[in-house]
Structure 1
């Protein structure tokens, strides 16, 4: 048995001005062959689980590519073609395929990145079983469903079950190969664009939907996935989906998909997030800090790295300073121009320069850069190893990094957009985040498993960035209407 195993991950925010060339996939682009194997073996990705399962089965493994990039704007056509071609070209002579995909990729030359890839793989290997692991925020399409035999998504957000998802898909895949089951896929898709802050799996309607999925699996379905979708993609249907893998009975699977889809639709209001004003959110954070001996987290979800944010809006910082806050640690702020100037100045230098709002200035709601004067405290290569629980053990690359000390605040500036996965974002540049009064993070969820345990509390702050929960800021021209909440009168 010769099995093709590959990874292609990108969540595309079509409103983001952050470019996605081939170099964005990894440190300096995707890795191939043995390097793709080594990048995933022993890690916590779905591809890692695929490799383990295939090796345990004694299969021959082909790993043509591992390509993962932070969420950003549409993937460059050349980058998309290069990754897809690496997978399709390697299919010749293979007996089966397991793919670790995100499910919400939009490229310059494809509005359905995963669906178009799967269609090509199916054409290259007619009849070969194809298993797919997806992110919980995948935008599922009919083309994806039609060209997969097994489809399973993460059940957690923040995502801490990537490996488990891959192991689940691999188990069904080998059951299919060895004749122990006959997977069939059914799905439903209510016309509902969810807010990412309401897709957390530990609370509310999303928790109840995941629990319904788990109950259906206990009652006999091979896999049931709740995919919240990624609504900041101006495509036909960036909507929530329910994907059910049944054992030979497609009608039974369809009934489960319809029932859980109807549950989600009936609770649709709970999938929407209503933001308070930025001033009110920051004031709430100030009140929390009055008797705190731990940092207060100010989460700038309007400029969230892992939804395609520019990571350079300065709204929350400016409002915090306006309200008289001190003891601020903020970052990472993506500003390659500022990093270059700080590198040239050197540690210990006092520097005045414009910071932030440079990429944000190209978005629909521009801001002016902020003039700051401070002392350069640290300069590094911006690399560290993630301690977990998300992507445990993987090396993280922020690009070159610098610390600018303003007195009231210390700002970590980087050359790349970067999610604060880990305390290493700050510790790698000599800052102990536990000693801050306020931590301003460009994050919605992924920071929480690491930073919440060291914090007094957290406040969600909605800047007018390209990942805002206010859909009125965005011009959705390609979405099929009516759809909730863009339209009030929607039936399903």
Structure 2
């Protein structure tokens, strides 16, 4: 990149999507179950999979600079993160910064919608802390498409890039984009980041970058990149299960001059906002989905999408409302699903494979959830809980759900575990002996991530109106902290997006 000596770049990861309606906080053990690594271990682990840190490493090294891997704390989506985890993160980053003997920039891999038990804007607070370490040195952040990009994040980061695909398949590419721009900024190239935030949230189950209204917005952004008008853009669709006052959907555009950046951010924000009524899923009742699965003429398997209990969206994952309804109807169809229930797992291990017992399964964590079943079940299999993603998203990534068991209740097979992970990937069932293509009905607890893999063989996809912390029916929640004048609630009919402003150090 230059004839001078290589620059030293601190790299870190803090990735957890918080759902404030999930009452169970995530502690350090939740991060250890996915990734808690430091230094060379962080570097080596991420080199094996197409994740954002891998892309960051490559961009830094492609620019002729040196990676200083610090700490990776990555957990599955869940409730608020325990404050002690955040403090541990900051302490260890500070130690690595001191040990580096001097660094030239910081590249962070974040989710962007993380809350702790004491703070609503953990990513903004983290970037603010990084700014105290970096001074006027560049800071970049790669984020999830569903990040809640706040004013504090925009003030303290020079570059923010987010996923441009949903289902997410561009983890590596997003990390590379953010770090590559950071390296160019470090080399003195002109760069300006403009942003505007919309008072808007929509359910993730209602849109995709593969087709429809949101794809049209993405296509507009991609055209601006292809014709070299922009260096980068992201149309963040904030995940909606954050009952906090700083929530919003932010559009970012990055260009070599400030006017182009601001004009393009305004254009993309207008395109995103005017399609707001098109981002909602058509929901059907559980009974309607079961009726389809029972119809011999309907292609199988029928996927019943229980997005409300999606662990990917931060819900607990303990609902069995569909199994409960199947048993109430005495339905003859063969159904497969999964649920969080450590107590049932322990009982299954005591009962043993092939033996029968009365089990009470489901709805033990989410308040007021009706989806529990009590019936005689047979233990089909027992497992250690380790599996690898099928992909394409995160192909080969390792997940651990804790000890697991498959219990059969007649024609219903339920994989119970400590904590469902990667809930849109078929291996969460396949690895444990529930082959989706052999069932009439499969319950998938995801919003859109499932489409990348399940979409290849699904006979019919049904988004169900189910209860839970990740419900698509956003008006079913009791909001306490949502700001006034917010879509889809009380936004004035004549609202127009605010003009984009230049952020970061160029503000």
Instruction: Name the TM-score, length of structure 1 as normaliser.
Output: 0.94
Partner of 2:481: 478
- Aligned partners of 1:84 and 1:234: how far apart in 2? 25
Please tell me whether the aligned partners of residues 305 and 462 of structure 2 are also in contact (alpha carbons under 8 angstroms): yes
Secondary structure in structure 1 of the residue aligned to 2:469: coil
With a CA cutoff of 8 Å and minimum separation of 6, indicate the structure with the bigger relative contact order. Answer: 2
- Aligned partners of 2:426 and 2:114: how far apart in 1? 29
Partner of 1:88: 94
Deviation, 1:226, is 0.7
Partner of 1:132: 141
Partner of 2:374: 371
Please tell me whether the aligned partners of residues 55 and 172 of structure 2 are also in contact (alpha carbons under 8 angstroms): yes
**How has the CA–CA distance of structure 1 residues 390 and 107 changed in structure 2, closer, same or farther, with 3 Å as cutoff?**
same
Residue-by-residue CA offset, 1:438-490 (whole Å, 9 max, x unaligned): 11121222222222222212111121111111122222222211101121535
Secondary structure in structure 1 of the residue aligned to 2:455: helix
Please tell me whether the aligned partners of residues 345 and 404 of structure 2 are also in contact (alpha carbons under 8 angstroms): yes
Q: Which runs of 5+ in 2 are unaligned?
A: 1-6, 497-507
Please tell me whether the aligned partners of residues 385 and 402 of structure 2 are also in contact (alpha carbons under 8 angstroms): yes
- Aligned partners of 2:342 and 2:195: how far apart in 1? 44
Deviation, 1:110, is 1.6
- Aligned partners of 1:469 and 1:29: how far apart in 2? 29
Tell whether 2:277 aligns with 1:269. Answer: yes
Partner of 1:164: 173
**How has the CA–CA distance of structure 1 residues 437 and 16 changed in structure 2, closer, same or farther, with 3 Å as cutoff?**
same
Partner of 2:352: 346
After the TM superposition, which of the residue ranges 449-458 and 388-397 deviates more from structure 2? Answer: 449-458
Deviation, 1:130, is 1.0
Equivalent positions of 1:143-158 (< 5 A) are 143-158=152-167
Secondary structure in structure 2 of the residue aligned to 1:208: helix
- Aligned partners of 2:254 and 2:14: how far apart in 1? 22
Secondary structure in structure 2 of the residue aligned to 1:91: helix
Deviation, 1:403, is 0.6
- Aligned partners of 2:34 and 2:113: how far apart in 1? 22
- Aligned partners of 1:119 and 1:487: how far apart in 2? 32
Equivalent positions of 1:81-480 (< 5 A) are 81-92=87-98, 93-179=102-188, 181-219=189-227, 220-247=229-256, 249-287=257-295, 290-291=296-297, 294-360=300-366, 362=367, 365-367=368-370, 369-480=372-483
Number of aligned residue pairs: 485
- Aligned partners of 1:206 and 1:368: how far apart in 2? 33
Q: Which runs of 5+ in 1 are unaligned?
A: none
- Aligned partners of 1:259 and 1:458: how far apart in 2? 33
- Aligned partners of 2:30 and 2:446: how far apart in 1? 19
Deviation, 1:283, is 2.7
Tell whether 2:91 aligns with 1:65. Answer: no
Please tell me whether the aligned partners of residues 207 and 281 of structure 2 are also in contact (alpha carbons under 8 angstroms): no
- Aligned partners of 2:179 and 2:253: how far apart in 1? 16
**How has the CA–CA distance of structure 1 residues 83 and 210 changed in structure 2, closer, same or farther, with 3 Å as cutoff?**
same
- Aligned partners of 1:313 and 1:341: how far apart in 2? 18
**How has the CA–CA distance of structure 1 residues 384 and 221 changed in structure 2, closer, same or farther, with 3 Å as cutoff?**
same
After the TM superposition, which of the residue ranges 118-127 and 319-328 deviates more from structure 2? Answer: 319-328
Please tell me whether the aligned partners of residues 285 and 459 of structure 1 are also in contact (alpha carbons under 8 angstroms): no
**How has the CA–CA distance of structure 1 residues 420 and 266 changed in structure 2, closer, same or farther, with 3 Å as cutoff?**
closer
Deviation, 1:354, is 0.6
- Aligned partners of 1:67 and 1:354: how far apart in 2? 34
Please tell me whether the aligned partners of residues 133 and 153 of structure 1 are also in contact (alpha carbons under 8 angstroms): yes
Secondary structure in structure 2 of the residue aligned to 1:55: helix
- Structural RMSD (CA): 1.9
- Aligned partners of 2:158 and 2:354: how far apart in 1? 59
Instruction: Name the TM-score, length of structure 2 as normaliser.
Output: 0.91
